[in-house]
Structure 1
Amino acid sequence: MDVSQAELDGARPYSTILLRAYDLWVLGFNNRFVWRCPTKHLRRLYDGNIAGDHLDVGPGSGWLLSHATYPVAAPKVTLVDLTERSMEMTTRRLRQRDIEPVSHVGSVLQPLPVDRQYASVAASLLMHCVPGTWDSKGVAFRHVADATTDDGVFFGATVLSYGVPDTALSRATGRAFQRRGVFHNQDDDLTGLVDALERAFAAVEVNTIGSTALWTARQPRRAMQPDAAIATDPQP
């Protein structure tokens, strides 16, 4: 993979030690008190949209996947992440539910390393770690669209820097994470997120809770198809 140093820096903090503290620190404290979007809202997003054949990009510690309510008794789950560590922890947790996921190392900024499409795809708390502005990192949504079935759904959540209410704590924490290279969301705004999603999906719904944007996107625009959002040459 041709992965930039900035992207590697965003993934590097997810060490074995951090992943062990992820549920308490990120899902527990940060989501509730810093970004003001308690993890129960992300869990509802999963429960309301996850399908029996699911692809999760950047699964973190696997908590959301291991606590999700699946619509079938024996779901199929595929994982994609830059690091093996995250997928290993997620795999251990899913095995406790008799789910044996398939794992692939890959970057969301490149075509996803999968050879088929999925009824649901999720990218939760991932995009604020991806370097670039929405004009550049929005390509990730095009790659997700290519991996989503025609009647499938893409859902996720990300912490924004603009277009959402903030607090002194959220601003200070966000800047600290940006200085350390953990977050790359210093230019991430709500309008840019919506535009990037709509370039990849025809039906997009975005809601905000605190500093976090949560979305569902349907009707993928294929990379090989003309993009309806791009103006065409006028007819004579």
Structure 2
Amino acid sequence: MLNDPILPKDVDAGQAVYSRRVLSLYDVLVLGLSNRFIWKCPTSRLVQLYNDHVSANHLDVGVGTGFFLDKCRFPSTSPRLVLMDLNENCLAATAQRVARYSPQTVRRNVLESVDIDGAKFDSIGLNYVLHCLPGRLADKCVVFDHLRPLLNDGGVVFGSTLLSQGIHRGFAARRLMAAYNGKGIFSNSEDSLDELQRQLAARFGDWSVEVAGCAAIFSARK
């Protein structure tokens, strides 16, 4: 693990919640309950997103518990897999969960310029990351500028993010998002579907966004 970054408080807040205890409950509470009943974005749809786009030369950013890397179908039994996250607990849990792929771990702040030793990637996953980053969506989308140089030509960046505007949110989703925004876990109170589409269109000629409940599921090619 290389060069631990010094984090501003608003950046740290979005990732600091993921203690070992929280991670032990994450798959059940978030992927099992919240996705299905509150965000209305079935976890199976996000597994399919990985199956559609993950390559044998993959960088995953914001790895969580490693659920999607564990469940998805890599096109190779021995992919090159690099894990990037700010949270050491997430990196450790995911590295252990997908140890069969011998992943490399790097601790980075994706809101800053990113450098990784080695070859570029054919796919980059950015799942449930943007809504945890501080600031306006227009500012947060600088992550695409930082990740794009790590992609090979024709490579794809894909992921999903929870939105507050331009999509339908039920009562429970509005209340839970407000609570998470109040605690600094989320910073998406102004994140909109139109703005996400605008930011992708400004950077990529080939991109798509699909809405599933409160989530925008996106992919874009270099």
Instruction: Return the TM-score normalized by structure 2.
Output: 0.95
Other-structure match for 2:105: 103
Give the aligned CA root-mean-square deviation in angstroms: 1.0
Find the counterpart in structure 2 of residue 64 from structure 1: 68
Identity %: 33
Q: What are structure 2's unaligned runs of at least 5 residues? A: none
Asked if residue 50 in structure 1 is aligned to residue 54 in structure 2, the reply is yes
Structural mapping, 1:78-157, within 5 Å: 78-95=82-99, 98-115=100-117, 116-157=119-160
Q: Give the TM-score, by structure 1 length.
A: 0.90
Which one of the candidate residues 187, 190, 206 is aligned to 2:190? 187
Question: Which residue number corresponds to residue 164 of structure 1?
Answer: 167
On the 8 A contact 1:145/1:201 being kept in 2, the answer is no
Contact 1:104 1:113 in 2 (8 A): no
Residue 7 of structure 2 is aligned to residue 3 of structure 1: yes
Structure 2 CA distance for aligned equivalents of residues 215 and 105 of structure 1: 24
Point out where structure 1 has 5 or more consecutive residues left out of the alignment: 220-236
Shift of 1:114: 1.2
* Distance in 1 separating the partners of 2:115 and 2:19: 22
Aligned partners of 1:46 and 1:68 also within 8 Å: yes
The structure with the largest helix share of the pair is 2
Give how far 1:64 is off.
Answer: 0.4
CA distance in 2, matches of 1:195, 1:110: 21
Alignment partner, residue 224 of structure 1:
none
Max Rg structure: 1
Distance in 1, matches of 2:70 and 2:132, equals 22
Runs of 4+ in 1 over 3 A off after TM superposition: none
Letter in 1 for 2:65: S
Instruction: Give the match for residue 211 of structure 1.
Output: 214
CA drift at 1:2? 4.8
